[in-house]
Every structure is written in structure tokens, then in C-alpha cells.
Chains A and B, each alone.
Chain A
Amino acid sequence: MTLWQIIIAASIAVLALKLAGYLVPPALLQKPTPSRIADLLTVALLAALIAVQTLGSGQALTVDARIPAVIVAAGLFAIKTPFIVVVIVAALVAAGLRALI
């Protein structure tokens, strides 16, 4: 697969899922299990992505400046700091530590 093919396939898949919501009979929403799984699916994927993005480097697990950056980010989100500010601070923490060590 080329990068463009991946991008187009993923974009169409996500768009199709949005449109599918308008075709499904609303009765399905009354059933608690599908919506509960969809909710938890979002949580599980985001948590897994945090783990991989923080610890992974290719197929190896590494401990580096990303870990303190993510801990600082979590702390800032906990005190309701705006998204963009947290993302910038996290980048600065990692960049600062790498410049120092």
C-alpha cells in the first residue's frame, strides 16, 4: 500500500461510519450494549495509543523524556488547562530534558 492509498482508505472508512449513523434505525440506540461498547472502544484505543506513543520506539519499549512530558500533561488536564497549552508544554518538557541530558 502507498501512503496515499492508506490515507484515502482510512478517510473514506471514517466518513462512511459517520454517514452510516444516518441510515441505521434509531431503535438500535435503545439497546445499551452497542453504545456501551462504542464508548469503551474509544477509551481503550486512546489509552493504548498513549502507551505506544509514550513508550514505544519502533518495536522496542524505551524510557525517555516522553514519560515526564506525559505525566505533566495529565496533571495539566486534571486542572483543566486548555488542550493547545498542554500540548505545547508537553513538547517543551520533552525538548528541554533532551537538550539538558
Chain B
Amino acid sequence: MPATHPDDETRQQRLAVREGLAVGLATAAYGVSFGALSVAAGLDIWQTSFISIVMFSGGSQFALIGVLAAGGVAAGPAAIASAALLGVRNGIYGMRTAPIVGAGLWKRLAAGWITIDESTAVALAQPTPHSRRVGFWVTGVAVFIGWNATTLIGALIGDALGDTRAYGLDAAAAAAFVGLLWPRLKRMQAVAVAVAAAVVAATLTPVLMPGLPVLVAALVAVVVGLFNWLGGPTVPGWASARTKLRS
């Protein structure tokens, strides 16, 4: 590990703090859309806030309410499975951030909770071990506070709106997924998987009960990933977090 000058180290830490706060602020802005869409999907304000506090992972949260909006409580198992599968990548991030966080049960529990795209990306982008640790915690805590505050605001707005279709909130939900997917379409393999999965899901919608088409479409990823069709040299799992942040 390269020795850094103390002044330089302080500067790196300050940069990590600034980057973390900026990412936290940007992410907080779209907590509003989650809150409003969740209420539109039929959840109450308590349920909406519970998800943002405990689940705390944008993709999984949007997936859960998306499937529930389409299929209602009957689609519960499929909604849970969709949210969990989208949460798998956080587990991969955890393997990368564990050495940054260090040992200690409580520290690791707290770190695990805030291990998401943003905290992982900012942490891994820092140059020194200390600034990586600072970047991880500042980003994770900033996003956690901002995301939960704006989820509540969004839920209150959604509650006041009433007929959400007239306000185009169903289209906003689709647009939110486009925003989560867009930065991940850097490689040919990802584009091919996205197109195939969309076709599979749309084709199966009239045939299967709501929620299941999305899960069957996920098999496209498993098959393509297993045989590495259309894949070039492999990128480590956490690279997607960096790409996401840069775009």
C-alpha cells in the first residue's frame, strides 16, 4: 500500500465526503418518484416507508411495487422473488466492500444495510484505503437519509393525487426502470439480454399470471451468463456500479 502524505490523505478524504454527499443528494431526488409510485400501486404511507427503510435498494423497491401494481396481492410470491433477484448484486458488492469496512459484527451489519450501487461505486472510486472507507460510509448514510425523507414526501404527494393514471404515473414507473437499466447497456451482451428478456416478458404476459413473466425472463440472463454468449473478456461484478455512477 503506497504511503501518502498526511495533507494529501486529508484532501482525499474531503473529496470522498464531497462526492458522497453529491451522490446522496442526486439519489434523494428520485426517492420522490418511488414514494408516489408506491402509493399509486396500492401501498399505504407506512408500508412505503417501511420498504425504503428496511429493503433500501432502488431497483428491488421499484420491482416489488411494479409487480404488485400489475398483479395485486395474488402476485405476492412473484413480487418477492423479483425484488430478491434484483438484490443479488448487492451481495456481490458486499464481497468487495467487506475489506474496506473491516471487522466487527455491528459495523458489518450497518455496512451491509447500506451496501448499494451508490455507496459501493463511490467507495471503489477512491484512491486510498482511508478515503475508500470514508466514501462508503458518507455515501451510504447520505443516500439512506435522503432516500427515506424523499420517499415520505413522494408518498404524501401520491396520496394527495388520487387518480394516478390521469397523471401518467404508470408511464413514470416504466420510465424509472428505463433509467435504472440505461447505464447498464454498455456492452453488446447486456443489450442482447435486455432485448430478449423484454420480448420474453411481453410474450408471456397474456399466458402467465402477473409477476411470473418477469421471473421467466430472468432465465435469459442465467443462460447467457452461464455460456457467456456474445461476451468478451469478463468484467468483475462491481464494475457495473462504477459504470452506473459515471454515466
A38 CA to B189 CA, complexed, in Å: 13
Q: Given A21-B112, A52-B66, A53-B66, do A86 and B225 touch, yes or no (CB 8 Å)? A: no
Contact bitstring A79-100, B, C-beta under 8 A = 1, else 0:
0101110111111111110110
A19 near B226: Cβ-Cβ < 8 Å: no
The number of residues on chain A lying at the interface, defined by a beta carbon within 8 Å of a beta carbon of chain B, is 79
**Which of A10, A20, A21, A70 interacts with B83 by CB under 8 Å?**
A10
Interface size on B, residues (CB 8 A): 110
Give Cα A53–Cα B82 distance, bound, in whole angstroms.
14
Contact A84 B222 (CB under 8 A): no
> Quick check: B193 and A43 within 8 Å, CB to CB?
yes
A53-68 at interface with B (beta carbon < 8 Å): 53-56, 58-61, 65-66
Nearest CB of chain B from residue A88's CB, rounded to whole Å: 7
Contact of A55 among B30, B109, B205, B228 (CB under 8 A): B205
* Interchain CA distance A7-B222 in the complex, whole Å: 26
Write the chain B residue with the least CB distance to A77.
Answer: B182
Residues of A within 8 A of B85 (CB): 41, 45
A-B contact count (CB 8 A): 345
Query: Is chain A's binding surface mostly helix, strand, loop or mixed?
Result: helix
Contact status A38-B54, CB under 8 Å: no
In the complex, whether B6 has a CB less than 8 A from a CB of chain A is: no
Instruction: Check: A6 CB closer than 8 A to any chain B CB.
Output: yes
**Interface majority SS (helix, strand, loop, mixed), chain B:** helix
Tell me, in angstroms, the Cα distance from A86 to B175 when the chains sit together: 7
CB-based contact B210/A47 at 8 Å: no
CB distance from A34 to the nearest CB of B (A): 8
B166 within 8 A of A: yes
Is B149 part of the binding interface, using a Cβ–Cβ cutoff of 8 Å?
no
| Contact residues in B for A43 (Cβ distance below 8 Å) | 181, 184-185, 190, 193-194, 197, 221
A45-B218 contact given A7-B50, A88-B172, CB 8 Å threshold: yes
- Interface locus among B10-18, B94-102, B121-129, B130-138: B94-102
Task: Among B171, B190, B235, find the residue whose CB has the most chain A CB atoms closer than 10 A.
Answer: B171
With contact pairs A14-B87, A21-B94 given, residues A44 and B193 touching in the complex (Cβ less than 8 Å): yes
Quick check: B178 and A21 within 8 Å, CB to CB?
no
Contacts A45-B82, A45-B197, A52-B213 given; does A61 touch B54 at CB 8 Å = no
Interface mask (A1-45 → B, CB under 8 Å = 1, otherwise 0):
111111111111111011111101010110011111111111111
Residues of A within 8 A of B57 (CB): 14, 18
- Interface residues of chain A, those whose CB is within 8 Å of chain B, are 1-15, 17-22, 24, 26, 28-29, 32-56, 58-61, 65-66, 69-70, 73-74, 77-78, 80, 82-84, 86-96, 98-99
